[in-house]
Structure 1
Amino acid sequence: MDAMLPVVVIGAGPQGLAAAAHLVERNVPVVVLEAGDTAASAVREWGHVRLFSEWPELIDGASARLLSQTGWEAPTSGFPTGAQWIEQYLAPLATALGDRVRFGARVTGVSRRGRDRLVDADRGSHPFTVHVRDAAGDEHRLEARAVLDASGTWSTPNPAGANGLPALGEARAADVLSYRIPDFRDRSGFEGKHTIVVGSGHSAVTAVLALARMVRRDPSTSVTWVLRRVTADNAFGGGDADDLPARGALGMRAKEFVDAGLVTIATGFRVERVERNEDRAILTAEDGRKLEADRVVVLTGFRPDLSFLSEIRLELDPTLQAPVRVAVEIDPNIHSCGSVAATGAADLAQPEPAFYLVGAKSYGRAPTFLALTGYEQVRSVVAELAGDHEAARRVELSLPETGVCGGAGLFDAAGPIGGACCAPPVLQIGRMPAAV
């Protein structure tokens, strides 16, 4: 294979740009293909949301070294919003990478030159062929010595339907459903109205907190938090036991608002049907309970888009759709007490030589991913591609604990499941009545 062929990185988000910076530092040719028209276009869509990681945890080492050559100075403290992350770090990084980053370049397929998925013969000696569609709709192909898929999961949110498929009528009611954290600075769409938030992760908690503050200012506003599990314990996170204080504080504040009556919780509510009642939505659970609201915010997580990788040989965990050696560490059904270890090239390697899923996409459907995790991944993968196997094996990151014990917790049982590590369980919140 031609050693002068570039490494193709799919996605110009935080991990994709970091991978490019590491490749540049090791004098490896690189091309970054970004479907959007700006750097970190997915982050831009949630630019109004404040991260729970501080600045030092959001900046990659090789990227900082590249930027320092331009006179850039790293922010040292504070919790930026997504927009600030872009403005003060990601956009300057893309500029520093120059024409290595190509915008409006959507990857529609990846394969081996002259080899489909079935062909074994000399497979690893043939370059990758990356099929790209530009903003004008024209198609072209780019050959690569290796491919890093850092495209994330933002484009494929999970539906409201409890079984992982859209609920009956969900597509037809799309105009009253949102699958992203709304910009609550525009309060007109929420004040004086009833909003349902579906989901239990950090995004859902963030939305619940914003809405609860509106309820406190205007009691005619109401919010219902819909959880699929029959207990709300795990939705409140690890609290003081979380090694990221801002993340732990999210759940603690949410519990305070619930206890104060500013938020109503519907537990064990598994959406089966979504119907329209003029400009409002009616959610029906599998057990027949109904909830009606002016707005429904569905924040049930994301899943990887594997459609353009149909000709790539992948070994993915059947539950998470993540690389199997990564899935062992992050499966929310068994994960406990922040015991996740950093993952590198050996964990991310696929049956397809020189192809890697990195960043949030490497976590498949797992609910939590830190920028630090992705930076360590791309550092290790780039070292492997550059032939520095010792550096690839080395672990340079210890991940912060979440403070949450007992894996994902019980799903159908209503008994206590434990709360923060080494702390007493939070009180269970009862199920909602059949209608509200």
Structure 2
Amino acid sequence: MIRPVAVIGAGPYGLSTAAHLRARGIPVRVFGDPMVSWREHMPEGMLLKSTPAASNLDCPQPGHTLADYCDAAGVRRLVTDEDIIPAETFVAYGDWFRERLVPDLEQVRVVSVERGRPGGFELKLDSGEQFAARAVVVATGLSGFAHLPPELAGAALGGPALVTHSSLHHDLGRFAGKELLVVGAGQSALETAVLAAEAGATVRVVSRGRGKVAFGAPPWKQPRFRPESPFGRAWSLWALSHHADPYRFLPEGARHHLVRRVLGPLGAWWLRDRFEGRVQVKEVARVVSAEAVDGAPVLTVRTHGGRAERLTADHVIAATGYRVDVAALDFLGPGLRTDLAVTRGAPRLGPGYVSSLPGLYFTGLPAAASYGPVMRFVCGTEFASPRLAKHLAAAHGARS
């Protein structure tokens, strides 16, 4: 009996990878809730920062782009850089892609992955089933990686949570009539702030360090004599998008710096008009601490002039991003996590997205430390999925 490949995760990267593996005739079992991060952990009313061209789930078969979905669903076609994609449209596109290319997705949770004998892996599902897989692809997206900085954790402990991560807030209407602090200066922070303000909250954005609140240029103001990339016109963005293989050979510090700094923090061009005049901004050198005082959060901040100030509100939302740490992937057995080579918590990947443990692959955000910032975005499926599938087919295709 041929052992299947297990793909853990049913977001853009999991679905795209599964489509590529199946196109090569490789038996695949795919596990997870479809598009769950987009469906449950993004704010209601959110619009995608990425353009339609940067929002396609890659697969070998033609006819499965976002534009193809729009045609099939009879909705307005989204194709130009000026077209803005509602999150619910993108989720519906992911569901349509899944129904066509991964129809037998198993909506169960993988409880554990351990090394098998001889070779391969043993998986256990929350249904109680156990089975052997010849290879495992981890494509769990943002799950488990929400980052709450230590200085904000003080008011997040004990009693009602007064400081929470932005990924926990699908319905921002709960803050109507409340005072809200949003920590961060990226798209997540700025759009969360706007949506909360539009829902009736009084909102201040707390921007830390050198990160000033800023918005990108609209498409018609992009430089014309630079190469196009999914993120704008720039030689560096073009290289990072289309030639991610050499990224693995950069010094470790440079790789992690670029993942953090390229394409962020910056608001989408179309968000500026909704933000200005509606959301206040407090730019500080750093947040020193957060504490609960009389049932409300209080942030102590250090201004750029060196003074300490205290900011109060009814609630604090930390739009402080995500930090990859394989220790958070508790379905990986202790032996796997101990033996896995990592770089600052992220798996160290070789050619074809394979980890230091043969047969164990990572794609999407966990691959960014090895393959660059493009892996933070949906358009990274175009680079990652065919290369991963090709490597896996060559290394494991003939094994039973």
SS in 1 for 2:62: helix
Q: CA deviation at 1:17?
A: 0.6
1:130 maps to 2:123: yes
With the length of structure 2 as denominator, give the TM-score of the two structures.
0.70
Task: Report how many residues are paired.
Answer: 332
With the length of structure 1 as denominator, give the TM-score of the two structures.
0.65
Find the aligned partners of 1:283 and 1:347 in 2 and give their Cα distance: 44
Match 2:39 to one of 39, 44, 49: 44
Match 1:317 to one of 343, 365, 370: 343
Q: CA deviation at 1:348?
A: 2.4
Contact 2:190/2:275 (CA < 8 Å) preserved in 1? no
For the structure 1 residues 9 and 351, does the alpha-carbon distance in structure 2 shift closer, same or farther, using more than 3 Å as the test?
same
Contact 2:110/2:124 (CA < 8 Å) preserved in 1? yes
SS in 1 for 2:148: coil
Code of the residue aligned with 2:187 in structure 1: it is H
Query: Which deviates further from its counterpart, 379-388 or 282-291?
Result: 282-291
Match of 1:265 in 2: 282
Equivalent residues in 2 for 1:14-413 (5 A)? 14-34=12-32, 36=33, 39-45=34-40, 46=42, 48-62=45-59, 65=62, 73=71, 75-77=77-79, 78-87=83-92, 89-97=93-101, 100-103=104-107, 105-114=108-117, 126-134=119-127, 139-162=128-151, 167-172=153-158, 174-180=160-166, 182=169, 186=173, 189-191=175-177, 193-211=178-196, 222-229=202-209, 231-233=210-212, 235-236=213-214, 239=217, 244=231, 250=267, 262-278=279-295, 280-285=296-301, 289-304=309-324, 305-309=328-332, 310-312=334-336, 313-318=339-344, 321-324=345-348, 346=351, 348-363=353-368, 369-387=376-394
Code of the residue aligned with 1:50 in structure 2: it is L
Code of the residue aligned with 1:282 in structure 2: it is V
Find the aligned partners of 1:30 and 1:84 in 2 and give their Cα distance: 27
Query: Which deviates further from its counterpart, 361-370 or 19-28?
Result: 361-370
Q: CA deviation at 1:281?
A: 2.0
Identity across the alignment (%): 22
Of structures 1 and 2, the one with the larger relative CO (CA 8 A, separation 6+) is 2
Residues 241-264 of structure 1 deviation map (CA, whole Å, 9 limit, x = unaligned): 696369898266777788758412
SS in 1 for 2:384: helix
Code of the residue aligned with 2:290 in structure 1: it is R
SS in 2 for 1:148: strand
- The structure with the largest helix share of the pair is 2
Code of the residue aligned with 1:275 in structure 2: it is A
Find the aligned partners of 1:140 and 1:184 in 2 and give their Cα distance: 35
For the structure 1 residues 173 and 292, does the alpha-carbon distance in structure 2 shift closer, same or farther, using more than 3 Å as the test?
farther
Question: CA RMSD of the aligned region, Å?
Answer: 3.6
Contact 1:66/1:96 (CA < 8 Å) preserved in 2? no
Contact 1:274/1:283 (CA < 8 Å) preserved in 2? yes
Q: CA deviation at 1:285?
A: 4.1
Q: CA deviation at 1:154?
A: 3.3
Code of the residue aligned with 1:269 in structure 2: it is R
Find the aligned partners of 1:67 and 1:184 in 2 and give their Cα distance: 30
Find the aligned partners of 2:162 and 2:369 in 1 and give their Cα distance: 27
Q: CA deviation at 1:238?
A: 5.3
SS in 1 for 2:267: helix
Code of the residue aligned with 1:380 in structure 2: it is R
Unaligned segments of structure 1, at least 5 residues: 115-124, 326-344, 390-436
Find the aligned partners of 1:367 and 1:160 in 2 and give their Cα distance: 21
Q: CA deviation at 1:168?
A: 2.0
Contact 1:209/1:253 (CA < 8 Å) preserved in 2? no
For the structure 1 residues 154 and 50, does the alpha-carbon distance in structure 2 shift closer, same or farther, using more than 3 Å as the test?
farther
Find the aligned partners of 2:159 and 2:207 in 1 and give their Cα distance: 20
